A = this chain, B = another copy of it.
Amino acid sequence: MARPTIADIAERAGVSKGAVSFALNGRPGVSEETRRRILAVADEMNWRPHRAARSLGNSRAGAVGLILSRPARTLGLEPFFGQVVSGLQAGLAEDGTALQLLVVEDPEAEMAAYRNWTAEKRVDGFVLLDPLIDDPRFPALEALDVPVMVLGGPLPDTSLSYSWADDSEAMHEAVDYLAALGHRHVVHVAGMPQFLHTKRRMDVLTEAKARHELAEVVSIPTDYSDSEGAVITRRVLSRRERPTAIVYDSDVMAVAGLGVALEMGVRVPQDLSILSFDDSLLARLTHPALTALTRDTQGWATEAARELLRLIADPSLTVRHPSSTPVLVPRESTAPPAGH
């Protein structure tokens, strides 16, 4: 038989379409007995609501969008994205909401997608990744007046909701640890400087310099690529006065850096300590395994998804959701500097 509709159910149960709709959505207007009967019929006929019809009726798309403007290949490279996607998806699935993914080449296309998807009522809200300093997406999305959950923060000067892990705190932990081991020359191979969390980490570092009386602390921005990670590492390890520890903003760069150290005959951790600000299988598979700041990215994304659903249900809300701070997991790549 063709797909059954509520009209079929109504006929079979001997009631009106309206009654069926009320019954199926658990709202008042039908007696308990009728409701049960309708539900039974619907079940028997194997009925499922037609997505588009429902959306058209109640003006809910039943989907949220995630638009990424990194080059497409990054998706496969950085474990982070997979974690985020599956985490979001898990949170949304609890509600039957779908995740719509789009990978675009540049920020303009990203903005256009926000506008289009909103105008098309294709999604009920968006998840934003990698908040920037003075992020142009924020005012644009505020203007669109659509529920948005940013993964990252805290964000100054915006009415958008966000879910944030305390990167500063984590960076503090990392630097404190290295300082405690006795390191005085630390290089930070950072991510892209326009990212808010990059800036935050850099700030912590410069501040830590004074606090711990470190001799040298430099943050060097990169594009997160393994090649830049390698290049920078090669450069700093070629200097007369080498750092005794390097903190990498991503595990991909950390692994690339480790490779350079090996290639240059710099022993890890005896001559050089390596700490990755991002954990994943990658960091665990290397030899030595990398000390890293680890966090439950997937869980974070799941929580954020739930918050976004709340936001969609009640757009007057503004969510500032704190998620757990990354935790330092010491492995084999960190040790006191030589002669300490």
Cβ–Cβ contact B80 & A79, under 8 A: no
Give the complex CA separation of A72 and B296 in angstroms.
13
- Give the residues from 249 to 265 in chain A that come closer than 8 angstroms, CB to CB, to chain B: 252, 255-256, 259, 262-263
A178 to chain B, nearest CB (A): 23
Beta-carbon contact of A121 and B298 below 8 Å: no
Asked if residues B282 and A282 are in contact (CB atoms below 8 Å), the reply is: yes
Contact B77 A280 (CB under 8 A): yes
Residues of B close to A90: CB separation below 8 A: 72, 103
B-binding segment of A22-30, A42-50, A200-208? A42-50
Given contacts A83-B75, A101-B89, A281-B226, contact A56 B52 (CB under 8 A): yes
Query: Would you call A212 an interface residue if the criterion is a C-beta within 8 Å of the partner chain's C-beta atoms?
Result: no
Query: What are the residues of chain B within 8 A of A276 when measuring CB–CB?
Result: none
Interface residue A16 (Cβ < 8 Å from any Cβ of B): no
Q: Give the copy number.
A: 2
**Which A residues, 213 to 255, have Cβ-Cβ distances below 8 Å to chain B?**
226, 252, 255
Q: Does A17 reach chain B (CB closer than 8 Å)?
A: no
In this complex, what residue of B is CB-closest to A53?
B56
Quick one: which of B79, B120, B255 contacts A51, CB cutoff 8 A?
A: B120
- Which B-chain residue is minimally distant from A79 (CB atoms)? B76
CB A252 to nearest CB in B, in angstroms, measures: 7
With A52-B52, A61-B51, A287-B262 known as contacts, the answer to whether A86 contacts B75 (CB < 8 A) is yes
Q: Which of B78, B119, B256 contacts A46 (CB 8 A)?
A: B119
Number of A interface residues, CB 8 Å?
57
Closest to A81 in B: B82
A73 within 8 A of B: yes
* 0 or 1 for each of A97-128: is its CB under 8 Å from B? (1 = yes): 01111110000000000001001111000000
**Which of the residues B3, B100, B116 comes within 8 Å of A119, measured between beta carbons?**
B3
Cβ contact within 8 Å between A120 and B50: yes
| A252 with B226: CB separation less than 8 A | no
Contact A280-B56, Cβ < 8 Å, known A46-B119, A252-B285, A259-B285: no
For the complex, is A297 an interface residue (Cβ under 8 Å from B)?
yes
Residues of B within 8 A of A83 (CB): 73, 75-76
Shortest beta-carbon distance from A4 to chain B in Å: 9
B77, A116: Cβ atoms closer than 8 Å = no
User: Given the known A-B contacts A56-B53, A255-B285, are A82 and B86 also in contact in the complex, defined by CB atoms under 8 Å?
Assistant: no
Instruction: Report if A55 contacts B (CB, 8 A).
Output: yes
The B-contacting residues of A in range 140-176, CB under 8 angstroms, are none
* A194 at the binding interface (Cβ < 8 Å): no
Q: How far is the CB of A99 from chain B (nearest CB, A)?
A: 6
B89 touches A102 (CB 8 A): yes
**Interchain CB contact under 8 A, B99 and A100:** yes
The answer to the question of A85 belonging to the interface, with a C-beta cut-off of 8 Å to chain B, is yes
Chain B residues with CB under 8 A of A226: 281, 284-285
As a 0/1 sequence over residues 38 to 75 of chain A, the CB contacts with chain B under 8 angstroms (1 = contact) are: 00000000111111110110000101000000001101
Question: Can you list 6 A-B contacts with CB-CB less than 8 angstroms, sorted by A residue number?
Answer: A46-B119, A77-B280, A82-B82, A99-B100, A259-B285, A259-B287
